[in-house]
Structure 1
Amino acid sequence: MKLWILIITTIILSFISLFIGAIDISISDLFDWNSDEAQIFIISRVPRLLAIILAGAGMSIAGLIMQALSRNKFVSPTTAGTLDAAKLGILISMLFITNVTYTQQIIFSFAFALLGTFIFMQILDRIKFKDAIFVPLIGIMYGNILSSITTFFAYEADLIQNISAWLMGSFTLIISGRYELLYVSIPAIVLAYLYANKFTVAGMGEEFAKNLGLSYKVILNLGLFLVAIISTTVVLTVGVIPFLGLIVPNIVSIYLGDNLRKIIPHTMLLGVVFLLICDIIGRVIIHPYEIPVNVTVAVIGSAIFLIMLLRGRAYAK
């Protein structure tokens, strides 16, 4: 898996993404910056592309960090309850704060995402039977419990439609001024790269990390912090995108191994490529209408996840 191939593929798919939509836009339309097509391109198409790139890169890196720290290839923000905890935080902010602001939603969502991920990691520490397939099933059940709690209280407070909006991962409503929160994931990705070697060591176990003089708890908490930050920005901006942080790191590690410093650029770009492909499929298949990206990601991602589960079971035998 060559890095230059991923870069070229990303550029090609990005170009295609810019010129696909309900309104046809050609390159010649962009020479007149006062035309409606040029304004749509600037206000909608470019922000949408940037949101896809940031969300794809961020969620893939978040999944990579979780898999390294949990020492399990089937763990991700989707299968560890991180995204479900973030949604619960959004609901809590709506229930207890009158006229809740966007900033307050960010704070609550981040706090619950961080807490939810930390609780899942603590659950892993206390599980004796850590089969590669058993762990993500625990995470899925844990996430479903959080999601059920969110749905119940949202229904009781007549907020079910508001919460349902967060479930639908889609770039349809992304325009200039509504995606900039995703830029927060950029420093998180940079930190992940800078601490990649330490995450790799921490993933070998607490005792091993301490023997090398590494502060295991500090690195663990930093990793969880980065995962929570990235997950929160994506959920609040785009919604829930399943499987992205699960399958992309696995595909990269199959070809390049588990050295985080080495595979972070590949993971980031492959996440962008995968999300661009899913988004383009959703926009083309019923043009001029659009299938939400979380649907196409779920269909393709679940098939790949099933293959990984069967592969993991065959390996275990």
Structure 2
Amino acid sequence: MTTTTSAPRVRSRPAGRLFDPTLLIGVVVVAALLVLSLFTGVYDVVGADDGSEMFAITRIPRTVALVLAGAAMAMCGLVMQLLTQNRFVEPTTTGTTEWAGLGLLTVMIIAPQAGIVPRMTGAIVAAFVGTMVFFLFLRRVSLRSSLIVPIVGIMLGAVVGSVSTFIALQTDTLQNLGVWFAGSFTSVLRGQYEALWIVLLVVIAVFIAADRFTVAGLGEEISTNVGLNYNRIVLIGTALIAIATGVVTVVVGSLPFLGLIVPNIVSMLRGDDLRSNLPWVCLLGIGVVTVCDLIGRIIIMPFEVPVSLILGVVGAVVFIALLLRQRRRG
């Protein structure tokens, strides 16, 4: 893998603890946001006769989905940045999300009545293939600037997105494609979101393999010298990224820049100790998605703005700020 100037830095500081007292403050803040999410909406779940039923059907599933999707996509960004040794990559800047959408579209065209499992399988397989294509490109092409890497990923994603749009136009499924890519928690209901629990396994797997991903982030040569099977770790990381991206794309849609914003903020505040940063990445991922979702629900109430729109605006600003920061550092 090509080493770039934005590769994670190894600082000479004691390894941070996995849990520390300040983490409890973060947990309390995020918990408060989640409680606010449970009681935010047009429908009166407190005063209405069927309020408790609607609370169980809509509010609880939506809040659980915020937790699972936010944590999973934030950690996907962290893993992808380690494996590529570049701080500017995540599923939406490498084309992974677009590949997942293409896989979902393909399954829906071949089997229009397919259930959620075949659709997720198609999205996961396509996301895995697309991510591997991006990784292989980085290994074979030497890029002098780390800033070029996400631009290449965005270009690859645009090509895949164009192919998906053409296929959708030919098969009269363009409206469905637009709905899939408009990341929103509006349609998350009881009985339709349970597949998201799969991403919990991804989060657990990343915690277990954290040390291996850290070593892999130092490069293939160092990883091999310490006895780590570098290619196997890349395959495992790619599989985890594909699973989380595929499942979230099918159930929720695209959550742009989430995996870019969160790991970079945590790294700037706490350094690059992956294992001690993992709880913070999960927590901040949940917090960012929840805040954006609350804004989307309130800003034009009684209507809702897709969370992907809010994330896209915030993420674009952070992305530009990171690019300028990297440029100033040379």
TM-score normalised over the length of structure 1: 0.95
- 2:248 maps to which of 202, 216, 234: 234
Cα distance 1:104–1:130, how it changes in 2: closer, same or farther (>3 A)? farther
The amino acid across from 2:88 in the alignment is F
Residue 301 of structure 1 pairs with residue 315 of structure 2: yes
Residue 128 of structure 1 pairs with residue 156 of structure 2: no
1:96 offset after TM fit, Å? Answer: 2.7
Residue 61 of structure 1 pairs with residue 75 of structure 2: yes
SS at match of 2:285: helix
The amino acid across from 1:315 in the alignment is R
- 1:192 maps to which of 202, 206, 215: 206
Q: Could you say which structure has the higher helix fraction?
A: 1
Mapped to 2, the partners of 1:115 and 1:295 lie a distance apart of 27
The amino acid across from 1:109 in the alignment is A
Cα distance 1:96–1:200, how it changes in 2: closer, same or farther (>3 A)? same
The alignment yields a C-alpha RMSD, in angstroms, of 1.4
- 2:265 maps to which of 251, 274, 289: 251
Residue 25 of structure 1 pairs with residue 39 of structure 2: no
Moved over 6 A (4+): none
Corresponding residue of 1:263: 277
1:306 offset after TM fit, Å? Answer: 1.2
Mapped to 2, the partners of 1:162 and 1:23 lie a distance apart of 27
The amino acid across from 1:3 in the alignment is L
- 2:113 maps to which of 73, 78, 99: 99
Residues 22-70 of structure 1, C-alpha deviation per residue, up to 9 Å, x if partnerless? 11333xx59xxxx311111111001000001100000000000000110
The amino acid across from 1:128 in the alignment is S
1:97 offset after TM fit, Å? Answer: 3.1
The aligned runs of 1:112-261 (5 Å cut-off) are 112-261=126-275
Number of aligned pairs?
Answer: 310
1:157 offset after TM fit, Å? Answer: 1.1
CA contact (8 A) 1:197 1:259 kept: no
- 1:15 maps to which of 35, 52, 55: 35
Cα distance 1:41–1:205, how it changes in 2: closer, same or farther (>3 A)? same
1:245 offset after TM fit, Å? Answer: 0.7
SS at match of 1:144: helix
- 2:55 maps to which of 27, 31, 41: 41
1:98 offset after TM fit, Å? Answer: 5.3
Residues 277-316 of structure 1, C-alpha deviation per residue, up to 9 Å, x if partnerless? 1011111111221111111111111111111111111112
Residues 183-241 of structure 1, C-alpha deviation per residue, up to 9 Å, x if partnerless? 00111111101100100001111110010001111111000010001001110000111
- 1:72 maps to which of 86, 89, 96: 86
Cα distance 1:260–1:93, how it changes in 2: closer, same or farther (>3 A)? same
CA contact (8 A) 1:6 1:273 kept: no
1:4 offset after TM fit, Å? Answer: 1.8
The amino acid across from 1:274 in the alignment is V
Mapped to 2, the partners of 1:159 and 1:297 lie a distance apart of 25
Residue 50 of structure 1 pairs with residue 64 of structure 2: yes
SS at match of 1:73: coil
Unmatched tracts of structure 2, length 5 or more: 1-19
Mapped to 1, the partners of 2:305 and 2:142 lie a distance apart of 42
The amino acid across from 1:247 in the alignment is I
Cα distance 1:60–1:130, how it changes in 2: closer, same or farther (>3 A)? farther
CA contact (8 A) 1:47 1:175 kept: yes
Residues 93-147 of structure 1, C-alpha deviation per residue, up to 9 Å, x if partnerless? 1233353332221111110000000000011112212412110000000100100
Residues 134-174 of structure 1, C-alpha deviation per residue, up to 9 Å, x if partnerless? 10000000100100000011101111111111111001111
The amino acid across from 2:108 in the alignment is M
CA contact (8 A) 1:168 1:239 kept: yes
CA contact (8 A) 1:83 1:231 kept: yes
